[in-house]
Amino acid sequence: MRTVRVTSSGCLAFLFVLACVLVLEVTTDVEESSDGLNNTREPVWLADVPAAEELIAAAEVAIVGFFQDLEIPIVSTFRSMVQNFQDISFGISNHSEVLKHYNITSSTICLFRQVDKEQLRLDDKNIENTDADKLSRFIQINNLRWVTEYSPLTGSGLFNTMIQTHLLLIMNKESPEYEESMRRYQEVAKLFQGQILFVLVDSSKEENRKVINYFQLKESELPALAVYEMTEDKWDTLSISEVTVEQVQGFCDGFLKEQLVNDDKSEENTLKEEL
Ligand SMILES: *[C@@H]1O[C@H](CO)[C@@H](O)[C@H](O)[C@H]1NC(C)=O
Ligand SMILES: *[C@@H]1O[C@H](CO)[C@@H](O)[C@H](O)[C@H]1NC(C)=O
Ligand SMILES: *[C@@H]1O[C@H](CO)[C@@H](O)[C@H](O)[C@H]1NC(C)=O
């Protein structure tokens, strides 16, 4: 469980340089509700612990507002988010039993994620000066899924996770193979829960060119997989013609195995140095 700062400092290479630079420039453009979206959506009222647990377990990303007092301004700000993030489950509770279970002692907004089993909190101190823009940004940054689409905002969220290895599928979202590829990619993502974060980079977007260039990939080599390890700044790429479960899984296993071998070697070296 971590309390999160909305902006990250001390950026590392790649995504993170990019994210940190851009995140300052990006204004939160919340998607307008349009046809097909549920304009009457409300947070689910959580009357007991099982209801809260059920909501959290069923969602890739769930956000729960735990409030002792429902009259404070953040509550209506919180409610106003529900319309804007249709892919997230929202819950709200003021029941002491529920608050106690989640160790809440003051008004807190919690984001629960499946992909890295993370629980992020905006608590009293942070909540006081949280307006709709800030809350919206907090959600956009931390809305990490089984497969997260890369953007400057999610780039910043990806940087903020405990998972140090990220796999990128760099592919044109408009290509006919896209949907089937994503289905398979997502399937593999679940196998590597807690080990590798899976990211999609839409190669048709001009602003993603920097990412593609970073991995020294040519247009003709796409679609491609790129795996990246943050602490060591190591990466590898594989040009693919289509996404298959076996290929993605093999690429990930290979990279993780290599990291292990390298770690062992560096441990041996430190040992020798110490002797
Ligand atoms: C819209 O949201 C309301 C309240 O959460 C819910 O009762 C209703 O079933 C939803 N409608 C659709 C079409 O999802
Ligand atoms: C929770 O909110 C409801 C509706 O405003 C209110 O009737 C109830 O007394 C509140 N419960 C607690 C424990 O504050
Ligand atoms: C609440 O805190 C206790 C003790 O630190 C911890 O064991 C428990 O898992 C926490 N509950 C939740 C729901 O995070």
**Amino acid residing at 138:** F
Q: State in Å: Cα 44 to ligand 1 middle.
A: 11
- pLDDT exceeds 50 at position 3: no
Sheet (strand 119-122) strand order: 2-3, 119-122, 108-113, 61-66, 89-93, 44-45
Q: State in Å: Cα 56 to ligand 2 middle.
A: 22
pLDDT for the residue 24: 41
In the chain, pLDDT over 90 holds for what percent of residues? 72
Which is higher by pLDDT, 102 or 274? Answer: 102
Q: Could you read off the pLDDT of 195-213 as tens digits, one per residue?
A: 999 999 999 999 999 999 9
Of ligand 3's atoms, which has the minimum distance to the CA of residue 1? 14
Residues with CB under 6 A from ligand 2: 70, 94-96
pLDDT for the residue 128: 78
Ligand nearest to the Cα of 97, by number: 2
pLDDT for the residue 7: 34
The interaxial angle of helices 152-159 and 132-142, nearest 10 deg, is: 70
- Tell me the average pLDDT across 159-171: 94
Contacts of 28 (CB under 8 A, 6+ apart): 133, 136, 137, 140
- pLDDT exceeds 60 at position 25: no
Q: What share of the chain is helix, strand, coil (3-state, %, to 5)?
A: 40, 20, 40
Q: Could you read off the pLDDT of 40-82 as tens digits, one per residue?
A: 889 999 999 999 999 999 999 999 999 999 999 999 999 999 9
Q: Could you read off the pLDDT of 91-117 as tens digits, one per residue?
A: 999 999 999 999 999 999 999 999 999
Burial bucket for residue 192 (CB in 10 Å: 0-12, 13-18, 19+): buried
Ligand nearest to the Cα of 117, by number: 3
Nearest protein Cα to ligand 3, atom 6: 103
Nearest protein Cα to ligand 3, atom 3: 103
Ligand nearest to the Cα of 121, by number: 3
pLDDT for the residue 275: 53
36 pLDDT band, cuts 50/70/90, is low
**CA 253-254-257 angle, 5° bins:** 80
pLDDT for the residue 22: 43
